[in-house]
Amino acid sequence: MKNNLVTASVVLILLTGLSKITGFIREMVLAYFYGASAMTDAYITATTVAIILIGGITSATALAYIPRATEARVNNQDVSYITSNLMTACGLLILIISVTAMFFSRELTWLFAMGFDEETLTLAAGMTFLILPFCFIYAMNNIAVGYLQSINSFWFIGASAILANIVIITAISASNNNPHTLALGFACSWVVPAGWAFFLTRKKGLRYTFVLNLKDKTLQAIAISSIPIFLGQLVIQFNTLVDRNFASILGEGIISAMQYANKLNILFITLFVVSIATTLFPRFSEQAASGNIDGLKKTASKSINIVLLLVMPVVTGVIILAQPLVELVFMRGQFDQTAAIITANVLALYALGMPGLSFAEILNREFYALKDTRTPVICSVVSISTNIVLNFILVKRFGYMGLAVATSIAATVLAALLFIFLRRKIGAIGMGHLTLNFIKLLIAVLGMAVVVFYLNEWLVSVLGLGTIDRILILMVNALVGAGIYFGMVYLLKVTEVQEIWQMLKQKLVTDALENKDSKE
């Protein structure tokens, strides 16, 4: 089981990495053709409205479904029936909501961008109207992906994102300043992966039949469990609504710049943390279902320490190299130096909240596995309330940078609250070891930061600022920084690094012996 989870994590990390590369290309193409403009603001707002309107329901349903599907499989229940019933019920609900929302697309769009002028608002509302009818497909895809996760099949998550990005890139490139093409291209990025997901679930044993039994106990249990998760998502969505409105008031292109910065920030969290959390969730569910609280605590402690190990150098690197990173990825075509400076400033401040968001990904899934969906909601409400209050305080003085700082502080508050409540629920989860690790990692990351800062300055003075030069500079900085960091944490005897090193050495020895035996 352990080897399978490690393999699944590695595969998912690699595929997620490829999906993020295509995601970067998608953002680069959008920046190239439209820059940080009214069209980009309208497009980002329209897609956000659709995802937030439906995303909260579908993600809550999928998260509540996975433990129930795992439990049903353990008890030899008909998982196909449970999944089919959920798909039908959820699909019909989303279809009704999305079709109804089409009649209020302008009002919905205005809620997300009250600072838009009439032309931009009309543009965004039109794109929202075109995307909404496809939302039920997005919902079906989420449940299908939930089924694949429940059987420890994770690779599709990364692969479907790659496919969706290719569809969006094609649409942006062919749009020729046509908002209808942009909107329909985004909608098609849901349709194509959904068709593939249904094909895969059938191969994995799911037999969908049209059934709608609202009295089914499992469906009711999933619905009840999803309500607190949905309320938590609703709070997050409200927070996004407030953030977007502040950004829309701050001027044209601010929404786009913050979106670009957020994409870069989320890249690192998704690449490592979400991949680890996704593969661990079924294991959390199995341990919780069997009452193995000690195993659950050990898994949680180990995963938190590994996340800390990975996130610390990334945060430091992003803060130091935010400007050259943004310039390399986005600064071409319609994306000018002013947009690059704003985006880099936001990215550096967003990075401060990366540890909090990373820990929340792991800790939330611990609570969901324990079928406690109430606590994460309470923590989210406090965190989002903190963010909104800080928005009002900081934006007046610091503008868009105040928005970014508020977001990072709120993420840290969320992680702290989840730690406290999880410890109260299942007991100690190795905070002493985590604190000691943090001190060791802090020493290592400070050493890395000093070297990377001065190395970057020297490389820029020697190589210049051409595109190839920037790529070489970032690669050298990343390789040297990683070498110094992991070398120092090994010398400082960070347990997780030594365990990984021992596993790699054992794997190499085993492979060498197997190759020797096969030759003989």
* Structure tokens given for 170: 């094609």
Q: Quickly state the pLDDT bin for 69 (edges 50, 70, 90).
A: confident
Residue-level pLDDT at 512: 47
* Distance separating alpha carbons of residues 187 and 210, to the nearest angstrom: 24
Q: Tell me the per-residue pLDDT of 412-445, one tens digit each, with 9 for 90 and over.
A: 998 899 888 888 887 777 677 778 878 888 898 8
Q: Which of 124-133, 290-299, 344-353, 499-508 has the lowest mean pLDDT?
A: 499-508
Q: Tell me the per-residue pLDDT of 309-366, one tens digit each, with 9 for 90 and over.
A: 878 888 888 888 888 888 877 776 667 777 888 888 888 888 888 888 888 877 877 7
Tell whether the model's pLDDT for residue 289 goes beyond 70.
no
Residue-level pLDDT at 2: 45
DSSP string covering 194-256, please? HHHHHHHHHHTT--------TT-HHHHHHHHHHHHHHHHHHHHHHHHHHHHHHHHHT-TTHHH
Tell whether the model's pLDDT for residue 248 goes beyond 50.
yes
Over range 88-114, report the average pLDDT: 86
Q: Considering Cα of 313, then 316, then 318, then 321, what sign does the dihedral take?
A: negative
Residue-level pLDDT at 511: 47
Coil/strand/helix, residue 306: helix
Over range 98-113, report the average pLDDT: 85
pTM (2 decimals)? 0.63
Tell whether the model's pLDDT for residue 520 goes beyond 60.
no
Residue-level pLDDT at 169: 92
Residue-level pLDDT at 282: 57
Coil/strand/helix, residue 331: coil
Over range 221-244, report the average pLDDT: 73
Q: Quickly state the pLDDT bin for 1 (edges 50, 70, 90).
A: very low
Q: Tell me the per-residue pLDDT of 381-404, one tens digit each, with 9 for 90 and over.
A: 888 888 888 988 888 888 888 888
Using an 8 Å Cβ cutoff, are 218 and 57 in contact?
no
Residue-level pLDDT at 3: 46
Over range 98-115, report the average pLDDT: 84
Place of tokens 């990025």: 189
Q: What are the helix and strand counts (H, E) for the chain?
A: 19, 0
More confident residue, 426 or 3: 426
Q: Which of 60-64, 237-241, 348-352, 515-519 has the highest mean pLDDT?
A: 348-352
Tell whether the model's pLDDT for residue 203 goes beyond 80.
yes
Tell whether the model's pLDDT for residue 184 goes beyond 50.
yes
Q: Which of 34-43, 80-89, 177-186 has the lowest mean pLDDT?
A: 34-43
Residue-level pLDDT at 240: 65
